[in-house]
Structure formats: C-alpha cells, structure tokens
Amino acid sequence: MNPAEARKQLIETYKQTGSISRTARLFHTSRRVVRKWLRRYHQLGEEGRAASGRCRRPKTCPNKTQPEVEAAVVRTRALTGYGPRRLAAYLKGLGVNLSPHTIRHILRQRRRRATGPGSSPTRSM
C-alpha cells in the first residue's frame, strides 16, 4: 500500500470510528500524525490527502557561496592548477576569503580535476 492510500484509509477509518486514539492504534502511529492528516483533510479536502507531495526543501540557502565567487574559484583553478589549500591562500590575497574545504566542495561540484602544473600525467597502456 502506498502512502497516499494509507492516508486515505486512515481518514476513512477515523470517519468510521470517530476516535483519534483508536485510529492511531490501528495504524501503529501516533495521535499527532492522525491529527495532522485529519487537519490537512479538513483544510484542503481531497487534495489534503495527497498533500504529502509538498516540498520540504528550503526556499533559500543563506550560506551558499555566490556564483561569481564560485566562477572565480574555477577560473583560478584552471589558470594555476592549484589545489584547495593553495587556492584558498591565493584567493585570500585577492580578497576572497574561502576555506579550503569550501573550495574543494566547489571544485567537486563543478567536476574540475587537476590539469595544471604539478598534475600527474595519465598512463596510456
């Protein structure tokens, strides 16, 4: 049984029994969960039963690195071939203060590998 069907059955069971406690016991869940789905059903009607699809993702991420800064990290990496620690020191001199961990995260996100000075050559065998 999928979650939407389970919620539909939970609401129908509550309508039959009229008891939140009994419904919670029958579905092996808490009264709080039963109340939550009943409240959504009463507020939104039939759409309230399918309200599980509501996105829980945050709308914003206040600590996210600005796209311009990320582009500067990637651009500097392409020019110098430095790793995260050296990039952090280099960028700090330019006024961009990022931790090596953040730089590593940006580079991994952008899928950049070492290609500049100091990178090891690939074997062709």
Q: Please tell me the pTM assigned to this model.
A: 0.50
**What is residue 57's predicted lDDT score, i.e. its pLDDT?**
81
**What is residue 4's predicted lDDT score, i.e. its pLDDT?**
82
Tell me which of 44 and 37 has the higher pLDDT: 37
User: DSSP alpha helices (H): ranges in the chain?
Assistant: 3-17, 20-26, 31-44, 46-49, 67-80, 84-93, 100-110
Which range is least confidently modeled, 17-31, 36-50, 80-94?
36-50
